[in-house]
Chain A
Amino acid sequence: MASVAATLVESEESGALVFAAAGEWLVATAAEIDRRLHAIQMPSGKRVTLDLAGIDRLDTAGAWLLLRTEHDLTERGNAVEMRNLQPSFEPLIDQVRAAGLIAPARHPRPAHHTIAGFIARIGEISLALIARAYSILGFFGVVSATALRLARHPRRLNMTAIVAQMEQTGVNALPIVSLLTFLIGVVIAYQGSDYLRFYGLESYTVQLTAVSILRELGVLLTAIILAGRSGSAFTAQIGTMRVNEEIDAMRTIGLDPVEVLVLPRLFGLMLTLPMLTLCANFMGILGGGLMAWAKLGIGIPEFLNHLSTIAPWSYWIGMIKSPFFAMIIALIGCYEGFQVARSAESVGRLTTLSVVEAIFLVIVTDAGFSIFFSALRI
């Protein structure tokens, strides 16, 4: 598009300063006009005429630049007059004038990167963390109370919803959980046997693999996969329902969102995670056993013999921890879902947060269990 560039010519006639504007005063040329306007030495206390006869095309951006110039000149004590504007542009000028001079909006600024700002930020985050912990505890209380109330009317428990949750969080996660723990078993046996061989203890590879998987890795891996797979889904599902006002709709119909949405997910996951852990333990030990056979030639009878030397408690420790982990994942996932504000953006933010929080709490709880079990000497 060949455009006649906007021009601005300054001249003096009979004691009055004349600015002759011409050409295309459009959004496309606004940057250039703005630059020229700023280059002009603005007079003060004079009679100034803005001659607009030469303006061929004008849009709101151009009109606004004219009005801003008029305003700036008036501010400096000049008597300003606009003349020779083409009549067809008058409504446009009037409309922009009617909008008034509005101060530009301030842009949101990132927090100041000063030391005081940094310390203040630490304080803010700490307070937010405490408030959050308090709020999560409150949510835990509400869910517990609802669960207890339901215990008196067990028929209200929606078994179909629980089974549906178990299918989604359990059956559908089975392949990925099995594959990952199998591979971890293989890796531990492979790496471990090298180190154990150094001490001449490579026949303990089976014990090493089995104990690591049974006590820690099987349940932890499963919990982390479910936090990423199901905890995030809980947040996104409930969060989307919040955005659509579905939760409010439920309340007005007399349905308790905690009973309808949280309990099936909670119970479903608490039943599912132990089963998945059992499966994960089996696959991990299978992987370790296969590696022991391939690398060290440990056959099935010898393998079973090794397994039987493991303390019987070890078989249970992972399983005991699993429902607690499930509870954490489900509660955090649902809690964050309820925190969603009425914007799609917060769904994404809180989904991420729920996964990170759930994994963090699972690992912290795991550390707690480890102290607990060592105190019990099992």
Chain B
Amino acid sequence: MPGQQGEPIIRVRGLVNRFGAETVHDGLDLDVFRGEVLGVVGGSGSGKSVLLRTIVGLNRAIAGDVEVFGSRILTINDNDQREIEKHWGVLFQDGALFSSLTVAQNIEVPLKEYYDMPLRLMDEIAAFKVGIVGLPEGTGEKYPSQLSGGMRKRAGLARALALDPEIVFLDEPTAGLDPIAAGEFDILIRDLRSSLGLTVFMVTHDLDSLFAICDRVAVLVDKKLRIGTLEQLLQDDHPWIHSYFHGPRGRAALRSETGQLGKEKMRAAASV
């Protein structure tokens, strides 16, 4: 289970992001430990996706330090960046599948880029990745435009998992899915985490996801992160955090969470 001990796998210190006159992050700190599922929440426009993009090197921060696997992302050279990219997978909001390739070919792109594999083996790997993320047989031959939103997300996850990464970054994985599909996606992430030992960095709006699978939650308020377990955050009296967890939807999610994890959390929250 998640260990908070040891070196963090992602380490962010004093991060500052600014777009024009608007400061999004101001001295933000974050540690993500190996094997944990971290949920990042915050209001719309609070800079959750910017944080994700900064950590994976798509966005240059104004100031601060970002380390992934001990390498500084902001000053990394191209070779080291490639080496790191082998060990992480990113799922973008709408899957970001390459529209001119089939799902199977999408999954094969990272394999082709990094490993010299026979084509047949790549086809086989792509096929079972399609199975692992719960897509029906035959999806591999389809083009992204032929898939529904939920299937595109699963296909995007299959591509993110193509290289068996150590970290996966998920940008709102359950947004736009129906509750059943969202629940299945949560279970999928939890299963993959436990079988592959994944570290998951998940930006989400979905309270149910938070309660179901996150070990710790980071809330982006006032341009900084407040990080803690759900129990700790449920006690937080910051107005935004309070209304987030104790608003009608937060209460509903807390009540309806019947999984083992949720019950424990609820009990813990009640006992504090």
Where the two chains meet, the residues of A that have a C-beta atom closer than 8 Å to any C-beta of B are: 26-28, 30-31, 34-35, 59-61, 64, 68, 91-92, 94-96, 99-108, 341-345
Given contacts A60-B129, A99-B132, contact A105 B164 (CB under 8 A): no
In the complex, which residues of chain A have a beta carbon less than 8 angstroms from the beta carbon of B78?
none
Contact status A345-B99, CB under 8 Å: yes
A344 to B94, CA, bound (A): 13
User: Interface majority SS on B: helix, strand, loop or mixed?
Assistant: helix
Assess the A104–B111 pair: CB atoms within 8 A: no
- B115 to A60, Cβ gap below 8 A? no
Residue pair A343, B145 in contact (C-beta under 8 Å): yes
Besides A103-B137, A105-B130, 6 other CB < 8 A contacts? A59-B196, A95-B191, A104-B127, A105-B104, A106-B141, A345-B99
Q: B103, B126, B128 — which one has the most chain A CB atoms within 10 A of its CB?
A: B128
Chain B: interface residue total (CB-CB under 8 A): 39
Contacts of B126 in A (CB 8 A): 104-105
Residues facing A in B154-184 (CB within 8 A) are 161-164
Complex Cα spacing A95 to B194, Å: 10
Instruction: For A31, give its contact among B104, B116, B144, B194 (CB under 8 Å).
Output: B116
Give the residues in chain B near A101, CB-CB below 8 Å: 128
The answer to whether the Cβ of B250 comes within 8 Å of any Cβ in the partner chain is no
Which chain B residue lies CB-closest to A35? B118
| Residue interface bits B210-226, CB-to-A below 8 A is 1, else 0 | 00000000000000000
Residues on A with C-beta less than 8 A from B138 are 105
Contact A60–B123 (Cβ < 8 Å): no
Give B residues with C-beta under 8 Å from A. Answer: 99-100, 102-105, 111, 115-118, 120-121, 123-132, 137-141, 144-145, 161-164, 191-192, 194-196
Residues of B within 8 A of A345 (CB): 99-100
Q: In whole angstroms, how far apart are the Cα atoms of A180 and B163 in the complex? A: 53
Is the CB–CB distance between B115 and A30 below 8 Å? yes
Are B124 and A68 touching (Cβ within 8 A)?
yes
Cα(A105)–Cα(B131), bound, Å: 12
- Contacts A59-B196, A60-B132, A107-B105: A28 and B120 contacting too (C-beta < 8 A)? no
How far apart sit A149 and B51, CA to CA, in the bound complex (Å)?
53
Contacting pair B161 A60 (CB below 8 A)? yes
Cα distance, A59 to B195, chains bound together (Å): 9
**Which of chain A's residues have a CB closer than 8 A to the CB of B116?**
31
Chain B nearest CB from A89 CB (Å) reads 9
A95 touches B118 (CB 8 A): no
Rounded to whole angstroms, the CA-CA distance of A104 and B124 in the bound complex is: 5
Q: Are A60 and B102 in contact (CB under 8 A)?
A: no
Say which residue of A35, A95, A105, A342 sits within 8 Å of B127 (CB atoms): A105
Whether the Cβ atoms of A100 and B195 lie closer than 8 Å is no
- Report the minimum CB–CB distance from A1 to chain B (whole Å): 9
From B103, B121, B132, A96 is in contact (CB under 8 Å) with B132
Contact A59 B118 (CB under 8 A): no
* A64-B125, A100-B131 known; A91 vs B195 contact (CB < 8 Å): yes
Given contacts A27-B163, A60-B161, A61-B164, contact A95 B195 (CB under 8 A): yes
One of A27, A99, A102 near B111 (C-beta < 8 A): A27
